[in-house]
Amino acid sequence: MIATICRKAHFNAAHRLHNPKWSDEKNRAVFGKCNSPNYHGHNFDLEVRIRGEVNPDTGFVMDLAVLGKVIKDEIESRFDHKNLNEDCPEFEGILPSTEYFVKIIYDILKPKLDSGQKLHITLFETQKNAAEYGDW
Ligand code: NI
């Protein structure tokens, strides 16, 4: 039997969306408040979904407590209360948009799964705005 499990997490981080190839005026027009020169914070809500075979010995796809610890150690401790532009080498040379951020989180977590388990990440930047990335 195949099933999907979901673990949620929450962290806060600051960023600034600014494309150095553009004028200040164009950056303000495209990115709005996210172009604010002195950065600004977001309360990120993360949803990590893992799809795979249910182990008949446990009834689990994966122990959610173990998954929670992986997310805490690999994602929350890395990004919580950080300035994504200044503190996080993962964003070197790319814009810290939710779309790129969700792919970065996927790439960090994917090697932690058993082979055959699929991963799908949803990252909410605000209550209304989210990006998703995954292998299904
Ligand atoms: Ni923003």
pLDDT tens for each residue of 21-54 = 999 999 999 999 999 999 999 999 999 999 999 9
Q: Examine the residue annotation and report whether 132 is marked as an active-site residue of this protein.
A: no
In the set 18, 34, 42, 120, the catalytic residue is 34
CA–CA separation, 66 and 60 (whole Å): 11
CB atoms within 10 A of CB 96: 23
Is the pTM for the entire model greater than 0.85?
A: yes
Q: Find the mean pLDDT for residues 122-135.
A: 97
| Backbone region of residue 22 per phi and psi (left: phi > 0; alpha: psi in -120 to 50; beta: other values) | beta
Distance 34 CA to ligand 1 centre (A): 4
SS3 for 70? Answer: helix
Q: Examine the residue annotation and report whether 88 is marked as an active-site residue of this protein.
A: no
Q: Examine the residue annotation and report whether 125 is marked as an active-site residue of this protein.
A: yes
Q: Find the mean pLDDT for residues 57-82.
A: 98
pLDDT value, residue 136: 84
